[in-house]
Amino acid sequence: MRFSTLGAGSVLLSSLCATSHAYRLPQIPFSPSDDSLGTSPHPPPGDWNPLEHMSGIAPYHDAPGADITPPDGCEVTSVAFLVRHSCIYANDDEWADFMEPFVNRLEKYQQEGGSFQGAGPLAFLENWESPINEGNLEALTGPGADDAFAFGKRLRKLYPHLFPPKDLGKGSSKGKKGRTDKVKEPFRIWTANSNRDVGTAKAFIKGAFPKRHEGDDGEGDGKYLSLIKVNNKEASWSSSLTPHKVCPAFTKEPGKPDAQEWLEHFGVAPLERLKKLMPNFEWALRDVIALMMLCGYESVIKGVGKTEFCKQGLFTAEEYSDFGYWNDLIYHKMTGYAAPVAPYLGIPWVNTSLHNLLEAPEHRHHRDGRPHLGLLKEGDGLPDPDRPPNATHSQSLFVFFTHREEPPVALVALGIWNQTTVGPLPTDHRPDNRVWKTSHVLPFLGHVAIEKLTCGSHKHPKDYARILVNGAAQPLPREDLADGPGKSCRMERFTEYVRERMEMFGDFEGACKKAE
């Protein structure tokens, strides 16, 4: 099976394959398709799946309400994607702070012949070995590469007209039939330079492009396709691709005390349960977090449905949701509305993407009405290929792979899911009416996209911008900015809005100065 962690992926791709009309795409189901929850003292209800409530430690799943069907009379004429890399073995901080201390104590307990008698759902720990170690931290997992491949296939299905044709260059050798188009420069996919990002981008390319274009191991053949690796600290691009890495004022710390306070509320009951199951083991409150993290990480290492940490039903649905909220608290002060620097970090990608959408090649149609947007031919008067990455482009689809911090700061720059308008996040209970829910944006391959929709007749087309988060359209935060079809915004208004936001949050250097 190719889609080992994308339980939903195969359903989704097969439903995609069943459609014939390229511009009326099917509703993408938000499919909680995990049948892996075994019997346990606390079985989560029905189709409830912990992996959909685990913030950033989960295989890709669409956000609720996902449906990228263009509104009636509209087609997508350009789109920019900001995508988190695919599944990794473990984030090094999460390993060091939570999982490793638990794993170390467990190994000691195993070696010393500690008892697992009566451990019930924890009995599997007697023979369990950690698949995570210092050597594979942060490395892309096998299922993670499969998911990135599936994501590439999926985008090709969803936006076929925005990719270069699959048969491009096929007939270029003499005497063979096929396309002989000469392209002036290759189609580009961009990625941050870390191995997990590059590996994700290469797997994506293999899924989205024919063998002929994919080049050596997904690097692109250099003629029709190029993978652009952007150094994490490259000045011309870093503020839009990896801004948190070039911003001294950015910090992962401020939400941690809130999360700890919250853990001290919700973690006590599950900790007591664990203690009863293995009374001789030296439990710590943080182990509640460690076991939940291992449910997520083992799912993306071994494949969904293959980890006892999820299957044994160690925690209730409520407790997993509490863990999701624990993550929301951390990210809210790190990349959300309670992080003063967040909108400054997110606005460069928004500005660059707006620029790219506006500069995307105009609508051109074949005689049969099929739009022809995926490539420009020689003679189209393209700018110099050495131009900066945010200059005018010859393509209409922009895919950027980067780190978990970037999609949420782009949301903040856009003013979407502004928790401040609802209220602060408490640390003594979980407010289910909050709008800041990181499980909906942060899974591996989680993304924010801006689509340019072109609606109306070919003679009088009107352009709109639509924001998607993991497949679900998100209205911009003012009524006059969300009155277009399908929660979209008139392109002129969106352009004005982004300029306003640039005025408010454009001072990247100023905002990123570290307080002395």
Ligand X SMILES: *[C@@H]1O[C@H](CO)[C@@H](O)[C@H](O)[C@H]1NC(C)=O
| Site residues for ligand X per CB under 6 A | 236, 239, 337, 343, 348, 351-352, 354-355, 388, 390-391, 412, 415, 418, 420-421
Contact 299/310 with Cβ under 8 angstroms?
yes
DSSP count for the chain of H helices, then E strands: 16, 8
- Label the pairing between strands 462-469 and 447-455: antiparallel
CB nearer ligand X, residue 77 or residue 239: 239
CB nearer ligand X, residue 185 or residue 298: 185
Q: How many CA atoms lie within 13 A of 430 on its CB side?
A: 20
CB nearer ligand X, residue 133 or residue 236: 236
Q: How far apart are CA 516 and CA 508, in angstroms?
A: 17
Cβ 348 to ligand X, closest distance in Å? 6
CB nearer ligand X, residue 295 or residue 481: 481
Diameter over CA atoms, the chain: 78
Write down the residue that tokens 């570290």 correspond to.
514
What does residue 455 show for φ and ψ, rounded to 5 degrees?
Answer: -120, 160
Q: How far apart are CA 85 and CA 403, in angstroms?
A: 6
- The token duo for 289 is 């977090």
- Label the pairing between strands 397-402 and 74-84: parallel
CB nearer ligand X, residue 274 or residue 334: 334
Q: How many CB atoms lie within 10 A of CB 363?
A: 16
CB nearer ligand X, residue 175 or residue 388: 388
With H, G, I as helix, E, B as strand and everything else as coil, classify residue 267: coil
The residue among 367, 391, 394, 372 whose CA lies nearest residue 382 is 394
Burial status of residue 279 (CB atoms within 10 A of its CB: 0-12, 13-18, 19 or more): exposed
CB nearer ligand X, residue 81 or residue 494: 494
Q: How far apart are CA 443 and CA 439, in angstroms?
A: 6
With H, G, I as helix, E, B as strand and everything else as coil, classify residue 317: helix
Cβ 391 to ligand X, closest distance in Å? 6
* DSSP code string of 123-146: GGGGG---S--TTTTTPBPHHHHH
CB nearer ligand X, residue 196 or residue 437: 437
- The token duo for 243 is 């801004």
CB nearer ligand X, residue 230 or residue 354: 354
Write down the residue that tokens 């969106």 correspond to.
494
- The token duo for 461 is 């087309």
